[in-house]
Chain A
Amino acid sequence: MDIQSFLQSGLLESYALTQCTPEERKLVEEMLQQHPEARAELEAIELALEQYAQTQAVVPPAEVKDRIMQEIDSASPPMTTRLNSSAGRLLQAAAVLLLAAATYFWMQQRTAEQQLEASRQQSLALQQQIQECSSNLATQRAIVELLRDPKIRPVKMSNQINPAAIPSYVFNGDPAGPCKISVDVASLPVQPAGKYLQFWAIVNKAPVSIGMIKIDSLNGIQTFDCNPNAEGFAVSIEDNPNGNAAPTTVLMFGLQG
C-alpha cells in the first residue's frame, strides 16, 4: 500500500480508536516505522481525540493522587530505603552478635560468680574452722594455765547419764585469793532446745545453785564466783532457763579431791 492511499484508508483513525484487527494493526505499525508522514498523521488524529477528551475532563478528588503516590512509595522503596534496610540487616546482625557475646560473657560471669560464691563459702567455712580452732586453742591454753596454777584444784566431773563419755573438769580457785570457779563448758554435751544446764555446788551434801551454764562453743570456759565451802560440784539438766531450786536430772557430778 502506498502512503497516500494508506493515509486515505481510515486505518490510522481505526488504529487510534483501537478498532483495528490484528492484521490491520500490524500493517499500521509497519507504515508508522517506514513513513514519518504516517506518524505525523497519527499524531494529529490522536491529538484531536486527546483534546476532545480534555473537554470531558473531570477533576478527581485530591486523595486519589495521594493514594497512588503512597502506593508506589510503599511498593518500590527508593535507594535510600534499600540502603537503610541493608543497614537495618547489618544492625540486626550486629544485635544478634552482641546478644550472643552478651550471653557468652553473662554465662562466663555466672560461672565465675558461682565459683566465687563457692570459694566464699569455703573461705567462710575455713574461717569458722579457724575460729573454732583458735577458740579451742584458747580454751586449751586457758585450761593449761589453770592446771599449771598451783592455787587451782581441778575437779573431775564424770558423766552420770553416760559414764563412758569424756569427763569434764571444774577448776576451783584458791579460797585465799579472789575466788573463781571455771567450768570447761566445751566438753559438756550440747543440749536440745528447751533443756538448760544448771551448775551446783555441793555444800553439806546438799546442792546449792551457782548459776546457769551457757553452752557456747566460742566460749570454752565459763567462770563463776566460787563457794569456798563446796565439797563437790554437779551439773543438772533443767526445763527452766533460769534454773530450779533443786536439780531435776544430774548430768555431771564430781567431788573435790
Chain B
Amino acid sequence: MLRFAHRTKPMHTELIQGLQRQDRNALSKLYDMYSSALYGVVLRIVQSPELAQQVLQDTFLKVWRNSGSYDSSKGRLFTWLLNIARNTAIDATRTAHFRNKQKTEGTESLVSRPGNDAINPDHLGVREAVNALDEKYRTLIDLIYFKGYTQEEVAEETGIPIGTVKTRLRYAMNELRKVFGETNALAFLMLAEAIRQVLK
C-alpha cells in the first residue's frame, strides 16, 4: 500500500501545484482524469443529465477557485473532489423543482444504476469482483459514499437498525479493499485512463 501511495503522489503533486498557480492545463488534466467518475456520482444524486452537467461544471469551477484549500495530508485528491461534487449536487437537489420531481419518482431511483454511457466495468476486469460485493453492501456504499447520507439517515431510509448499518459498512469497506487491492487498483487506473482516451 505504502509503495503504491508514494508512486501516485508525484503526479498529483504536480497537478495540485498547477491548480494552485491557476494553470488552466492542470484543470484540463484534472477534468480528463476525474470528470467521468464525478459525473457518475452526481448523476446518481440529481437524477437529471442537465442538472448533473451544471453541477459538474460548478464543481470544477469551485475546485479552480478553491484549489488552495486542498490539503494532501488530509486525504486523496479524488476524495476532496468527490466531496465538493457531492455537496454541490446535494445543494442542487434542494431546489423546489427537484423536490417535486423526487416526490413523484419515489425513493427507488435513489439507488439507480448509471446509464448506457457508463464506463463498462467488464473492460476493466473488475466487474465480477464488484458484483461479488453483495447488493446490500453496495447500496450502503452508494448511499453513504456517493449520496452523502449519514449512517443514521441510511437507517431511517432503509429501516435497518443503526447498529446493523455500522457493521455492514465496516464489512463493505473490507470487501471493497479486497476487490481493489494494490495490483488491481494500479491496473484499474491505467485501464480507466486508456478507456477515457479512447472515449474522448
When distances are taken between beta carbons in the complex, the residues of chain A under 8 Å from B83 are 18
From the candidates A17, A54, A68, name the one contacting B60 in the complex (CB within 8 A).
Answer: A68
Known pairs A33-B73, A57-B40; A51 contacts B185 (CB<8 A): yes
When distances are taken between beta carbons in the complex, the residues of chain B under 8 Å from A129 are none
When distances are taken between beta carbons in the complex, the residues of chain A under 8 Å from B24 are 69, 72-73, 78
Known pairs A40-B5, A52-B130, A53-B145; A72 contacts B61 (CB<8 A): yes
Compute the total of residue contacts between A and B using a CB distance below 8 Å. Answer: 163
- Does A192 belong to the interface (CB within 8 Å)? no
When distances are taken between beta carbons in the complex, the residues of chain B under 8 Å from A86 are none
Known pairs A19-B144, A29-B74; A40 contacts B1 (CB<8 A): yes
Majority SS at the chain A contact face: helix
What CA separation (Å) do A44 and B6 show in the bound complex? 11
Looking at B91-99, B100-108, B113-121, the stretch in contact with chain A turns out to be B113-121
- Does A58 belong to the interface (CB within 8 Å)? yes
Known pairs A44-B177, A54-B119, A73-B24; A17 contacts B73 (CB<8 A): no
What CA separation (Å) do A72 and B27 show in the bound complex? 10
What CA separation (Å) do A50 and B76 show in the bound complex? 9
- Does B159 belong to the interface (CB within 8 Å)? no
Task: Decide if B73 touches A32 in the complex (CB within 8 Å).
Answer: yes
- Smallest beta-carbon distance B17→chain A, Å: 17
Task: Decide if A57 touches B150 in the complex (CB within 8 Å).
Answer: no
Known pairs A32-B73, A52-B145, A71-B61; A60 contacts B115 (CB<8 A): no
Task: Decide if B180 touches A48 in the complex (CB within 8 Å).
Answer: yes
What CA separation (Å) do A131 and B144 show in the bound complex? 111
When distances are taken between beta carbons in the complex, the residues of chain B under 8 Å from A75 are 61
Chain A residues within 8 Å of chain B by Cβ, number: 45
Cβ proximity bits B146-189 to A, threshold 8 Å, 1 near / 0 not: 10101100000000000000100110010011011010110011
What CA separation (Å) do A36 and B53 show in the bound complex? 38
- Smallest beta-carbon distance B38→chain A, Å: 8
- Smallest beta-carbon distance A210→chain B, Å: 105
- Does A205 belong to the interface (CB within 8 Å)? no
Task: Decide if B130 touches A19 in the complex (CB within 8 Å).
Answer: no
Q: Which of A22-58 contact B (CB under 8 A)?
A: 29, 32-33, 36, 39-58
Task: Decide if A59 touches B75 in the complex (CB within 8 Å).
Answer: no
- Does B36 belong to the interface (CB within 8 Å)? yes
What CA separation (Å) do A72 and B61 show in the bound complex? 7
Task: Decide if A42 touches B75 in the complex (CB within 8 Å).
Answer: yes
Q: Which 9 A-B pairs have the closest CB atoms?
A: A57-B36, A51-B180, A43-B5, A60-B39, A46-B76, A58-B40, A56-B40, A55-B121, A48-B180
